[in-house]
Amino acid sequence: MNSQSEHDKAYRVSLPRSVVNWFDPRGRRMGMWAFVLNRITGIGLVVYLALHLVVLSLLAVGEESWDAFVRLARSPIILIVDVVLIAGLLIHGLNGIRVSLVGLGFGVRNQKTAFVALMTVALIVLIYAAWRVFSA
């Protein structure tokens, strides 16, 4: 196995190219689209968590800097970012339920139906959430 790995390293596809392939669902089927969506939303949520912690640290700076952030948070561009964040949460969370069940052998034959159903739920909730965000 080890000597084989050495052999593979000599002329296999580069690792960066293989990572790019994670995000390339062209010509693929629904399971791959679900995989790509989960990867993208997962990375997005991790980035959001980091930003969130940075923003919360403004509280330690003082009242003025926090108020400035709150004014920024009410701008239309940030509200759009909020809707994108909700979309990421819904897609990752609901698809995560499907992945957990299927990954443990439950409902494997119906994984495509489950994906469509859960993404339909995500879309409905997202439309409602976007309406609440912009009408608040």
Partner 1 sequence: MNWHVNFRIYRYKQDGTRPHYDTFPIEVKPDEYVLDAVERIWAKHDRSLVFRHACHHAACGACGMRVNGREKLTCITSIESVTTDGGTVTVEPLRNLPVVSDLLVDMASFYSKMEQAQFVSVRAAEPMVDVSTRQPAAHPEPAVRFENCLECGICVSACPISGTDPDYLGPAALAAIERMVKEPRCDVNVSSLLKLADNEHGLWRCHTAFECSEVCPSNVDPAALMMALRRQVLVDKVKRLFGRRSG
70-85 as b/e, with b when 16 or more CB fall inside 10 Å?
A: eeeeeeeeeeeeebeb
The nearest distance, CB 121 to partner 1, in angstroms, is 19
The nearest distance, CB 88 to partner 1, in angstroms, is 18
Residue 113 in the binding site for partner 1 (CB under 8 A): no
Rounded to a whole number, what is the largest CA-CA distance in the chain? 63
- Which C-beta is closer to partner 1: that of 9 or that of 74? 9
What is the pattern of x (binds partner 1, CB under 8 A) and - over residues 19-58? x-xx---xxxxxxx-xx--x--------------------
- Which C-beta is closer to partner 1: that of 43 or that of 61? 43
**What CA–CA distances, in Å, run from 78 to 23, 69, 123?**
26, 11, 20
Query: Cβ-count burial of 58 within 10 angstroms (0-12 exposed, 13-18 middle, 19+ buried)?
Result: middle
Residue 1 in the binding site for partner 1 (CB under 8 A): yes
- CA 61, 65, 66, 70: dihedral to nearest 10 degrees? -160
- Which C-beta is closer to partner 1: that of 20 or that of 49? 20
The nearest distance, CB 23 to partner 1, in angstroms, is 9
